[in-house]
Structure 1
Amino acid sequence: MPDPFPHLHVASGYSLQYGASHPHTLVERAVEQEMDTLALTDRDGTYGAVKFAKACLSGGVRPVLGVDLAHLPTQATDVRRTRTPVRGGAFRDPRLPRVTFLAAAGGPGGGRAGWAAVCRLVSATHLSGERGTPVLDLDLLARELAGPLGAGQLVVLLGPGSEVGAAATRRRDDLAEAALARWRALVPAENLLVELVSHRLPGSRSGGGWGPGTTPHAARMAGVARRAGLGTILSNAVRYADRRDAPTIDVLDAARRLVALGSADLRHIGPDAFRGNAEGFLKSGKQMQEVAEEIARTAGLGDPAREARQLLARTRAVADRCALDPRADLGLGEVHFPEFTLSGEGASADVLLRARCEGAIGDRYGSAPRQRIWKRLDDELETIRTLGYASYFLTVGDVTDLIREMGVRCAARGSGAGSLVNYLLGISGVDPIRHGLLMERFLSPLRRALPDIDVDVESARRLEVYTAILDQYGGERCVCVSMMDTYRVRHAVRDVGAALGMPPGETDAIAKAFPHIRARDARAALRELPELRASGLGEERLDLMFGLVERLDGLPRHIAVHPCGVLLSDATLLDRTPVEASYAGFPMSQFDKDDVEDLGLLKLDVLGIRMQSSMAHALAEIQRVDDVVVDLDDEEQVPFDDPATYAMISAAKTLGVFQIESPGQRELVGKSGIESFEDIITDISLFRPGPVKSDMITPYLEAKQGWKAPVYLHDDLRPILGQTRGVVVFHEQVIEMIARFARVSYAEADERRRALGDVEGMAETRLWFFPRALAHGYPLRVVEDVWKVLEAFASFGFCKAHAAAFALPTYQSAWLKAHWPAHFIAGLLTHDPGMYPKRLILDDARQLGIAVLGLDVNTSEQTYVVEKLPSPVVEPAETPYGIRLALAEVKGINEGEVERVVAARPYHSLTDFWHRARVSRPIAERLVLAGGFDSVYGIGTSSEGVGRRGRVTRRDLLLQVAELDRHARAVERAGRGRGLAGRRPTAAGGSAPGSRARTVADQAAVRNSSDPLEREAAPSTERHALADQGVWARAAAQSRATAAPRPVTSVQLALDLGDEPGEGEVSGLPELSPQERMNAELEILGLDASRHVVETYATFLRQLGTTRSSELLQRRSKSELLVAGVKVATQTPPIRSGRRVIFLTLDDSTGPVDATFFEDAQGPYAATVFHSWLLVVRGELRRTGHRGVSLRATGCWALPELFALWQSHGAGEAGIEAVRAAMAVVPAGFGVEEPERRRVLVHSSGFRMSPYSDIKPAGEETKDVARKLWHRSPGSAG
């Protein structure tokens, strides 16, 4: 028998850090208990509403939707408030009253109007107050209820957390009745109800036996409601689906309140944050009936059984009034198009779309034959007309026009590149006819899926583009899409550790030990990942922590704006989605990209692509430096058959080039030999999980290189598979094969291709395909062979339109590197678009003969810029260009300081700079140490001038900065004493000149070390110990010890402040050594600009017998050798076997070295790979094409440790023997043992992958964490 009880106050995990269950889990629990109605009333928003409604639709449960909002008190409150400490020492009051609003389905306009009222109320609450802390003002509520939607669209529940509940806690019936009177003035009596909740708590310290959650408290509220003539309903204030989830609530409460479990602060912060027991779960109707009877007995208002039945009946009646139809009321499955009239034209959208497309044919195709073009255009326009999408295409076209009018680079990506209409509108720059792309892969009359057009813009101007789009279409019709940041293992470890009272340092170290994986995989990772097995984190004392960590998996933490999604809709948009402000101030839907698609809201993805910014920067530098205007989109200027570009790609010299710079891609382009734009399209498609899994690469390469002849199962396949040498690579090829053999349209063929992605669809398609192919005369053997190909490759191919859209910026970036390398690399360094750190990009510039010009206060700009070198060109440059380091790279400098430095130039001295640039002391010191004043004082950059007397040194300038700062403080103190203001600006990342904070020159400790780089860098910005910081302290100590007197100068104040510092004076201190200069560069700039880090170890590495990158091609394949260098990247991509593989890239100053660690080598060495940055790697050489090599790694050691061991044995042959002996020993705990069986994820398509791989299945995104010194992929620890 169905359970008639409906829970009307339920919080899911989308009540951020308050609820403990996902919406679908709550619905599943309700279905198990045979409930037919369930509410979701999350706190502060409706973030989970769409997912909840879909789950209800699938489970046959009627959804009730609402929101739980805090509001400003309407009466004087007790001044003795419990306040909770938060970060930064501030306090916040958690006891604001809260009220639940339900969307009414029975009011005027039905459920759709009720849902619209909830959306509008939530939006108004968020947009009227402080971001992140929505608080409803009842005056605002009155205005909303008096508006067009009306008061009858909302049902209001006043529960234990309301002012009525607070008055009941204090046993002040008079205050409770006054609060009810105020609410009755706002809300019709039939829509105002008192919510009774009893978790059968024994009482609370704040209210004795009358605290919220107790039965006496609920009974008192029932009495107040009866005297006021208001109805009551029963709820359980649900926060979790199952009683076993209660411990998760404890952790969430502690994390939200920033206090430890068991803390007095947590116990006294109010009724809604301390669970007291485990009763706040989704109880059955029978359990709730017992609660109702208990409340009725305690209230003593009549027959308890009768009162309980009436209470349950009223609760049921409210549920019936508020139950929504997900399709009719929320609009699931509908489509809402943009209002085309906003584009400023009055014609029919279909007519205007045709006119615009036809008018563009001449520009796009010139005098080319038109018959095929016209036929394709007619077909596409008919599909668009049938689906009603004309206004969407016109709107997107207007958006791309708007972007280009702003001077922002813009390009389409995704399957939309297969549309001729998109090409003619200028949305896409790829000709679909020329490259054999199909509209049906993007949009089909047989498929009602919404079109999804992605537009790439310059990342540096993405927010500017967002602003322009929102201004153009207005906040009523255009908002950003949101995304929910959920608990993964690192977040979960930190919050659980804090809740358990663990030391922050220990918690942080544990979190950083994990790769970026799901929280639910924490304990499995401890068993399976060798770097974690060696960490000691599997101790029994940590079992409780990891158990709680896994409970938090996937629960939402906070909302953020989606990095690219923009909604384009009509004037009713805000009736279907609540809106709040993003951190940057953009209006943002509370729904994510999947939710908005379910609601039929058309989304345009405007992605900020750093490569587009890099190319724009390069083009600007070409015009500035060389007075040449290059248009990358002009095929006459940038032809697609440029020999130099393809020669560079085939030689795998593609560091920094879009899409083809990773170790795997460089190996692939080196093997395949790229000769055309079509080859680039194929290469990009092959380097995807599907093609890798189904082994498309090997047969393609064999045919491409002529090692084997292409195999065509039938002559009809030659035109379809000719480009890929008989191998099925693209989805479009599968569509064409099905269409050709079954004689169906591309639209139907694509539907059949999509069905091949699961077992049931595969079987149905086989029964459909065979009769049709045989009926058209194909032999059974051929049909069977073709079917095997379809069966094997259909679910693993890649969309050719997507690859073609990627191939365009790939080719353009490669062309720039081949013809304007200095300008291109300046763009790379400024916008950092690739997977490698800037120091490797700079090293690549050196390999190309481009001079790296040091930091200079008179010539460096905020960005990296190109300079023409004087003739004759100074070595090592082999081109007439150099790249000047950017001021923005200086550690701690802010944008304002950079602007002041640039605006006040030129500078004639450090004193001149100090007075006019007005930077903080730490920034001035860093500029000195990084060489920013070398050109001003003629300080040499080679070791020949080091230590020469009679010249100003960087140490002298450091002393002068200290003197200038001392004098500035004296002036400031004197000015304050006489009522004068004279403070210099404070820099971000550094103290103001008048502060007493420790600065570089104040560091007294001098670290003595045999290894100048002994402190290895940790993967955090707080511990950049790449350089021996002793150079800073030594420079300061020597400067103070030998400071010379300064000449007296006048001060333009009637104050006796002593001498003003003069110009830099020679103190006799030696100049920084080359090693010290490099260390300073690493610490301040994150770059080793003057010399390579590995040069420090040159003698040792030569004695050890390491091979340099430039020498690898001369070595025999399969020979064992040692390489050494700076770690620049780690990756853990998926491979065919489903096992975990680690790709490591080192830089040794002559080029990159790629090494691969398979599982047999990871056990002893994975921790070293991830947690050290200077490495020695042993491995077997592998040839990867005529210009490519890599290592199959068999060992890995930290270079500084080996270096120290060598030095401790005399830095000679004895030291080398000691090092080799140490390298021969397998690290403790990793003997010869059978590896433990590991988990493998198998997706519905059959694709197998390690749960610790970087690349996730479609629809799951990973976030790259930027690293200044090396790239560390999401699958990597550290």
Structure 2
Amino acid sequence: ERVSMPDFDIDFCMDRRDEVIDYVARKYGRDRVSQIITYGSMAAKAVLRDSGRVLSMGYGQVDKLAKMVPPRPLDLTLSDALGRSEKSKKEPDRVVREFCEAYEQDEDAHALIDLALKLENLTRNAGKHAGGVVIAPTPLTDFAPLYCEAGGGGVVTQYDKDDVEAVGLVKFDFLGLRTLTIIDWAVKAINARRAKTGEAPLDISTLPLDDPAPYELLKKAQTVAVFQLESSGMQRMLKDAKPDRFEDIIALVALYRPGPMDLIPSFVARKHGREEVEYPDPRVEPILKETYGIMVYQEQVMQMAQIVGGYSLGGADLLRRAMGKKKLEEMAKERAKFREGAAKDGLSGEKADSIFDLMEKFAGYGFNKSHAAAYALVSYQTAWLKAHYPAEFMAATISSDMDNTDKVVTFLDESRAIGITVQPPDVNASEYMFVAIEPDALSAASRQGARTIQYGLGAIKGVGQGACESIVAERANGKYTDLADFCRRVDPTRLNRRVLEALILSGALDALAANRASLMLQLPDAIKAAEQHLRDRQSGQNDMFGAAMGSASATPVLEIELPTVPEWPLEQKLQGERDTLGHYLSGHPTDPWKDELAQLSTCPLGEIVDRYQPPKPRRNDNDDGNRFRRGPDTPWTVAGMVTAVRKRGDSDAFVRLEDGSGIIEVSFFGELYQQMAPLLTRDEMLVVDGGLRIDEFSGGGFQLRARSACSLADACRRHARLLQLKLNGIGPGFVEQLQHALAGYRGGRTSVTLHGYRNRHAQADLELGEAWRVEAIPELLRTVRAMPGVQAARLRIVKQQD
């Protein structure tokens, strides 16, 4: 009864996908197995740029035209933009007015667009399908022409995925799934440690599905890095649903997608007894019981067609397909067939129509249970690993995304949030990838998972995999003792000045000297010594013991005198980490101002999720189908450092603020944007008042709509009432130094007090007179904090309206 071949979608570990394809080729014959070609076509923007290049038109002119074509919808064509296509006549929004005006009024643009219209959608290049593999019963040349990839990398069919099926071949999707690779890496790390304690290896495929630990993790929505369950919207759903069985995970994976998402509130209410579970017919209770009477899966629709409408299994599948395509004529035939089958069991036509309508509604977006169950199993496995072996799991997760800085930061933050210590990169401890550091092999803790992760050298920008592996391999001969020893021992073909500088800036060489400033200062001499050592080895200038033993260490070592220099300022040190790691690791640029930021803001950014209470939605009297409107934004003040700015024209901007504890996006519009534009730059410290809301359109994170804003300097100048200097062991000349430091900032509104001031006769707390009131801006704090004898300097801030 089938009208088409089934879909074969199989996910494999990314590392072993090619191994599977090679196995299939060996088993069925290399002349019968191939991957599938894809053809890249010339889309609207690309064809304009290519045509402009051929016509030797100026880049600016062509770029302006190309940018007139909006990125959405994805299938927009040049004919749509000009209003010539049938689709644009039905959907006027597809027409781009300024594009039409350019075509009509500019001769060059007219000629360019005319040429581009002829070329649009023509094939531009050939590629390889991400997962498609075909297996033929006889040599592939009996069915399709073949194409050899550039460089002789392999053979693919010249027919694309649709055409290979049209000629009778079966297409299999062999997809590489990153999560399966993460599981594989984590399990290998766990079993390596279990082997040392004599424990049986962990078999991820035999996990009990009723272990309470992963379900507790899901109920708390601690699902960062948990497959399919890590988005903020999914986390809110998990908190409401509180899944406590594997079937719940399957259902939630199937429900959390456009369409069935509207059923989530009812599903949750029925699960927890707040809403009565109802069935459209008593006979379908066994089918719908696990989903509390709600149709979630396509298989449920098919089973209902069998039980109520008397369909065969193949007929039920055809019915499901018809419902999904919503073809009216075909649906009318199926409805009559369903009523006829239902009538045999005494069901009235009205009741049969009611059930058919219900099935039709759900079939349109119902999800495959087999697919959802497979995904849910991977979700459960990752949740289980995170609950029982958090460090091994998070180390594998971070390693899988080492090239994606944003994800590395997210996963590192999550690791710390669940109690894992992250050790910085270290050439004497780090591997290429992130690894869990093992506790005492005989301790009880070793059976419960390590709690420390060692930063991977592979995540340092500018240090390639070859250099990392060379560093780790040589370390087997003993830890590196200093920079000269490191440069001398590591393969010089892998280690150049750029790599060494990246290692220093990231902190990976901190164990080899007093500080990074010292390392950078001695780097030229260390490189020279290593080059001399290499020349000596190559010319055979070893002593007789070194020559006899073949020992590289026998070559005389040039001593390098270590300079004694102070460490770089915090800002320079952290900037080096950001340049090489993509983020701050040993601290945050806001750390010196943490106290001031805390006094100026409602709370640290990392605490918003716990402190925020969304306003109740207001009743909606408009006739738009919604009973409630969202409530007003919650008044909130945030403070932090600008780390990214996304401007949209000359009217608004979206700014990312960080304070070391968390991140938030702040939107600036209209006059406020114009006023603040000069300050909306990276590394600027801002204090912003506005309305806080959950941004449903970008994954459910928090966003603040700014109503007023100023720099940290302006906020301190306006609101700081007292500058408190805590003194300790001041020397002669301190008063003169303090006078000099404060002189440039006098004339403000901030009083100055000295705590613990001591002279030859007594110790006391002093308040300087009004003549010494200052403008308490960050530069002043930085100056007095650097003075000998000043143990601490802090502002007391009282926010008030000016």
TM norm. shorter chain > 0.5? yes
Give the letter for the 1:852 counterpart: V
Q: 1:519 to 1:1211 in 2, by over 3 A?
A: farther
Q: 1:562 to 1:832 in 2, by over 3 A?
A: same
Shift of 1:606: 1.5
- State the partner residue of 1:1080: 576
- State the partner residue of 2:509: 933
For residues 230 and 654 of structure 2, what CA distance do their matches in structure 1 show? 13
> Greater strand share, 1 or 2?
2
For residues 688 and 1084 of structure 1, what CA distance do their matches in structure 2 show? 38
- State the partner residue of 1:959: 521
- State the partner residue of 1:749: 316
- State the partner residue of 2:636: 1121
Q: Pick from 20, 23, 27 the counterpart of residue 465 of structure 1.
A: 20
CA offsets, 1:884-939, max 9 Å, x none? 111211213333222211211132222222222121110011111111111233xx
For residues 609 and 452 of structure 1, what CA distance do their matches in structure 2 show? 18
Q: Pick from 152, 155, 161 the counterpart of residue 593 of structure 1.
A: 161
* Counterpart contact for 1:957–1:1064, Cα < 8 Å: no
For residues 275 and 644 of structure 2, what CA distance do their matches in structure 1 show? 35
Give the letter for the 1:596 counterpart: V
Q: 1:843 to 1:970 in 2, by over 3 A?
A: same
Q: 1:1079 to 1:498 in 2, by over 3 A?
A: farther
Shift of 1:789: 0.8
Provide the secondary structure at the position in 1 that maps to 2:437.
strand
For residues 480 and 894 of structure 1, what CA distance do their matches in structure 2 show? 31
Q: 1:607 to 1:634 in 2, by over 3 A?
A: closer
Establish whether residue 810 from structure 1 lines up as the match of residue 379 from structure 2: yes
CA offsets, 1:1130-1178, max 9 Å, x none? 9xxxxxxxxxxx999998655677x899x99xx99xx99x999999795
Establish whether residue 739 from structure 1 lines up as the match of residue 306 from structure 2: yes
* Counterpart contact for 1:490–1:519, Cα < 8 Å: no
* Counterpart contact for 1:864–1:886, Cα < 8 Å: yes
- State the partner residue of 1:520: 76
For residues 562 and 1078 of structure 1, what CA distance do their matches in structure 2 show? 43
Q: 1:672 to 1:784 in 2, by over 3 A?
A: same
Q: 1:1208 to 1:879 in 2, by over 3 A?
A: farther
Provide the secondary structure at the position in 1 that maps to 2:259.
helix
Q: 1:936 to 1:617 in 2, by over 3 A?
A: same
For residues 931 and 539 of structure 1, what CA distance do their matches in structure 2 show? 60
* Counterpart contact for 2:41–2:124, Cα < 8 Å: yes
Provide the secondary structure at the position in 1 that maps to 2:124.
strand
* Counterpart contact for 1:619–1:629, Cα < 8 Å: no
Map 1:320-399 → 2, pairs under 5 A: none
Q: 1:494 to 1:929 in 2, by over 3 A?
A: farther
Q: Which runs of 5+ in 2 are unaligned?
A: 83-91, 540-546, 548-555, 616-633, 646-652, 722-802
- State the partner residue of 1:701: 268
Give the letter for the 1:1112 counterpart: V
Q: 1:959 to 1:491 in 2, by over 3 A?
A: farther
Shift of 1:1117: 2.5
For residues 555 and 888 of structure 1, what CA distance do their matches in structure 2 show? 41
Shift of 1:704: 2.4
- State the partner residue of 1:485: 40
Provide the secondary structure at the position in 1 that maps to 2:487.
helix
Establish whether residue 908 from structure 1 lines up as the match of residue 484 from structure 2: no
- State the partner residue of 1:1108: 605
Establish whether residue 653 from structure 1 lines up as the match of residue 229 from structure 2: no
Q: Pick from 1080, 1083, 1090 the counterpart of residue 586 of structure 2.
A: 1090
Q: Pick from 870, 882, 887 the counterpart of residue 452 of structure 2.
A: 882
For residues 1062 and 450 of structure 1, what CA distance do their matches in structure 2 show? 72
* Counterpart contact for 1:651–1:670, Cα < 8 Å: yes
Provide the secondary structure at the position in 2 that maps to 1:723.
helix
For residues 621 and 612 of structure 1, what CA distance do their matches in structure 2 show? 14
* Counterpart contact for 2:302–2:316, Cα < 8 Å: yes
* Counterpart contact for 2:232–2:701, Cα < 8 Å: no
* Counterpart contact for 1:685–1:730, Cα < 8 Å: yes
Q: Pick from 879, 889, 894 the counterpart of residue 464 of structure 2.
A: 894
Shift of 1:755: 1.0
Q: 1:747 to 1:617 in 2, by over 3 A?
A: same
* Counterpart contact for 1:1179–1:1194, Cα < 8 Å: yes
For residues 749 and 1156 of structure 1, what CA distance do their matches in structure 2 show? 51
Establish whether residue 615 from structure 1 lines up as the match of residue 615 from structure 2: no
Q: 1:1192 to 1:891 in 2, by over 3 A?
A: closer
- State the partner residue of 2:411: 841
Provide the secondary structure at the position in 1 that maps to 2:127.
strand
Give the letter for the 1:520 counterpart: L
> Greater helix share, 1 or 2?
2
Shift of 1:953: 2.3
Map 1:712-791 → 2, pairs under 5 A: 712-756=279-323, 757-760=325-328, 761-791=330-360
* Counterpart contact for 1:488–1:516, Cα < 8 Å: no
> CA RMSD of the aligned region, Å?
4.8
Q: 1:836 to 1:895 in 2, by over 3 A?
A: closer
Shift of 1:965: 4.1
For residues 557 and 45 of structure 2, what CA distance do their matches in structure 1 show? 51
Shift of 1:610: 0.8
Shift of 1:633: 3.9
- State the partner residue of 1:119: none
Give the letter for the 1:1207 counterpart: A
Shift of 1:734: 0.8
CA offsets, 1:643-687, max 9 Å, x none? 110010111110001111112222222221111110111011011
Q: 1:473 to 1:528 in 2, by over 3 A?
A: same
For residues 815 and 595 of structure 1, what CA distance do their matches in structure 2 show? 42
- State the partner residue of 2:746: none
Shift of 1:597: 1.3
TM-score for both structures, normalised by structure 2: 0.69
Q: 1:830 to 1:848 in 2, by over 3 A?
A: same
Shift of 1:493: 6.1
* Counterpart contact for 2:223–2:235, Cα < 8 Å: yes
Q: Pick from 674, 678, 702 the counterpart of residue 243 of structure 2.
A: 674
For residues 192 and 69 of structure 2, what CA distance do their matches in structure 1 show? 46
Q: 1:1061 to 1:501 in 2, by over 3 A?
A: farther
Report the number of matched residues.
636
For residues 562 and 611 of structure 1, what CA distance do their matches in structure 2 show? 20
Map 1:264-275 → 2, pairs under 5 A: none
Q: Which runs of 5+ in 1 are unaligned?
A: 1-445, 938-951, 983-1051, 1053-1059, 1131-1141, 1216-1278
Q: 1:1128 to 1:700 in 2, by over 3 A?
A: farther
For residues 455 and 65 of structure 2, what CA distance do their matches in structure 1 show? 34
Q: 1:1210 to 1:504 in 2, by over 3 A?
A: farther
Greater relative contact order, per chain length (Cα 8 Å cut-off, separation 6+): 1
For residues 1173 and 510 of structure 1, what CA distance do their matches in structure 2 show? 33
For residues 1121 and 864 of structure 1, what CA distance do their matches in structure 2 show? 38
For residues 68 and 526 of structure 2, what CA distance do their matches in structure 1 show? 41
- State the partner residue of 2:234: 665
For residues 695 and 72 of structure 2, what CA distance do their matches in structure 1 show? 32
- State the partner residue of 1:867: 437
Task: Report percent identity of matched pairs.
Answer: 28
For residues 477 and 896 of structure 1, what CA distance do their matches in structure 2 show? 37
Shift of 1:817: 0.5
* Counterpart contact for 2:655–2:666, Cα < 8 Å: yes
For residues 859 and 487 of structure 1, what CA distance do their matches in structure 2 show? 50
Q: 1:468 to 1:775 in 2, by over 3 A?
A: closer
Establish whether residue 690 from structure 1 lines up as the match of residue 259 from structure 2: yes
